[in-house]
Structure 1
Amino acid sequence: MARKKRRTLHDEEEHVDESWLIPYADLLTLLLALFICLFSMRTEDQAKSDAMMEALYKAFNTISVFETSSGGQSPSNTSFTDNKDNAEKLPNPIDSSKEVPKEDTDEKKLQDLMVKLQNYIDVKQLNAEIQLTDMDEGIQIMLKDKIIFDSGSDHIKPNFFPILDGIAEMLLTVENPIKIEGHTDNQPIHSAQFPSNWELSGARALSVVHYLQTKNINPVRLNFVGFGEFKPLHPNDTVENREANRRVNIIILR
C-alpha cells in the first residue's frame, strides 16, 4: 500500500504546469527595454536623446522609397533635419481674408473720382454752374443748361467742349455705367423739332451721350433718359427756380 501511494505523488509532481514562465519572461524583457530607453533619454545627455528621436522619426515617418539592387524597395535616408528644412521652404498659404472685395475697390475708385471732379470744378471756378452730389444711386454731376445749350436748342455750345472734355477724361478712370438725364422747366415749347419738353430733354441728354462716345467712353456704359418738366428740383414759380430746373445730370452709377 505504501508503494502505491508513492507512485501517485510522483505522478502529480510530473504534471505541474509551468507555462506561466513564458509571459513572465516576456514581461521582464519589456521592463528591461523600458529601463534602457529611460536611461538613454536622461536630460543630462541631450545629444543622445536628440539622436534617438531622429532615428525614431526616420524609422516611423519615412515616405519616399527607392529601388534596391535586389529589386525590392527600401526606405530613403532622408533625415529629420532635411524634412524640417523642406517644410520651412514651403510658401506661406495665401490668407484670403486679406483680399480686398471688388465692391470695396470699385467704391474707392468712385470716391477718388469724386475728389478729382471736385478739384476740377474748383480750379475752373465752375461751382455756380456745376454741382457735385454723392447719392445712393451714384456720383451725380449736375450741369445747368445755360452753360451747355442755348434756349430751345439741343446743340452743345462750343465753349463748353473743353469742360466736357475734362470730365470725359476723368470718367475713363472708372468702368461704372453712366446715365445721362435731361430736365426742363414747365414752360411749354412748340417747334417743328421739339413738340414738347419730353423731346427737348431727351435730345439734350442724347447730345451729351454722343459727345462722350466720341471721347472713347464705351457706349455700352452709356444710357440716357428725358424727364421733361416732371422731375423739378423746385416749384416752377420763379425765374430762378425755373433756371435751376433746367439741367443735365451725368450720373456715374454704383
Structure 2
Amino acid sequence: MKRKEKAEGRPNHERWLITYADLITLLLIFFVVMYSISMVDAKKFEQVAASLMSALTGRGPEILDYPGPSIIEGMSGEQLQMETIRQQLQEYIDQNNLGSNIQLYQQERGLVISLSDTVLFESGRAELTPQAQDIMRKVGVSLAPINNYIRIEGHTDNLPINNAQFPSNWELSAMRATNVLRFLVREAGLNPARLSESGYGEYRPIADNNSEAGRALNRRVDIVIMKSEHAVVEPH
C-alpha cells in the first residue's frame, strides 16, 4: 500500500515581517547612537527619522520638507580641536615634569593655559628665559592649526615694583604678556590678527596674596583660547 505523499505546507506570506522588524530595530539603534553623540534638536531629529522611515517604507514623502539648517549644524569641531590641544600640552607637561608650573583648565570663555612666572621670567623681569622659549614653541605648535581668537593675559602678585622700566605691576604684567605674544607671532607664526594681550597687574588674583604660596600662584601668564561665540564680545 502506497504511503500518502506528504502534503506541501501552506506558503507563509508574512515572512517579510521578520526582515522588516529587524530593519526597524537597526534603524532605532542607529538613531539612538546618533543622538547620543551629538546635540540634536529634538524636533529636527523626529523629522529626519520620519523622513527616512518614509523613504524606506514607501509611504509619505521621501525628502525632508522642513526649512532651516542641516541637522549636522551643531556638530562643530571646535570642542574636538580644544581637547586635542589640551591632550598634546598635557602630554608635554607630564613628560617634562611641568605640572606644578603649567595648568590647563576650561572656563566658560574657553581653554586656559596658565603658566607660572617661574618658568617664563626671572624675578621682576619680562624677557622670556631660554626654558620659556622652549615651552612657547611647543604651545605655538599646538595653537597653529586653529583659527580661534587667543588672549594673552599677564598677572602679578600685590608686592609693589617701582623702577625705571616698570613703574608699577601694570607695566610689568603688560610687558610680560606682550613678550609672549610677540614670541608666538615671530617664532610660531601665529596670525597676529587673532591675538591680543592685556596686563592686569595684581587685580585679578586666583589665590590669597597674604602667603608666598598664594603670591606665586598669582604671578602668571594665561593664554586663553576663546570659544567662537566669544571671539567678538568677551564675558566680564
For residue 186 of structure 1, report the CA deviation from its aligned partner: 0.7
* Correspondence 1:99 to 2:72: yes
In structure 1, the residue matched to 2:171 is 199
Deviations 1:194-213 (A, max 9, x none): 10000000000000000000
Q: Letter of the 2:108 partner, please give it.
A: D
* Correspondence 1:225 to 2:214: no
Q: Counterpart of 1:120 in 2: which secondary structure? A: helix
Over 6 Å off, 4+ runs: 92-96
For residue 94 of structure 1, report the CA deviation from its aligned partner: 9.6
Alignment of 1:72-87 (within 5 A): none
Which among 190, 193, 196 is matched to residue 162 of structure 2? 190
Alignment of 1:1-254 (within 5 A): 97-101=70-74, 104-214=76-186, 215-254=188-227
Task: Work out which of the two has the higher radius of gyration on C-alpha atoms and give 1 or 2.
Answer: 1
Aligned identity (percent) is 38
Which gives a bigger RCO, structure 1 or 2 (Cα 8 Å, sep 6+)? 2
Q: Letter of the 1:173 partner, please give it.
A: P
Gaps of 5+ in 1: 1-91
**How far apart in 2 are the matches of 1:202 and 1:147?**
17
Paired residues, number:
162
Gaps of 5+ in 2: 1-61, 228-236
For residue 100 of structure 1, report the CA deviation from its aligned partner: 4.5
Deviations 1:116-174 (A, max 9, x none): 22122112221011000011111001100011001111100012211210110000121
**How far apart in 1 are the matches of 2:160 and 2:125?**
14
**How far apart in 1 are the matches of 2:194 and 2:208?**
33
Q: Counterpart of 1:252 in 2: which secondary structure? A: strand
TM-score (norm 2): 0.65
Deviations 1:22-51 (A, max 9, x none): xxxxxxxxxxxxxxxxxxxxxxxxxxxxxx
TM-score (norm 1): 0.60
**How far apart in 2 are the matches of 1:193 and 1:232?**
23
2:121/2:132 contact within 8 Å kept? no
**How far apart in 1 are the matches of 2:63 and 2:128?**
56
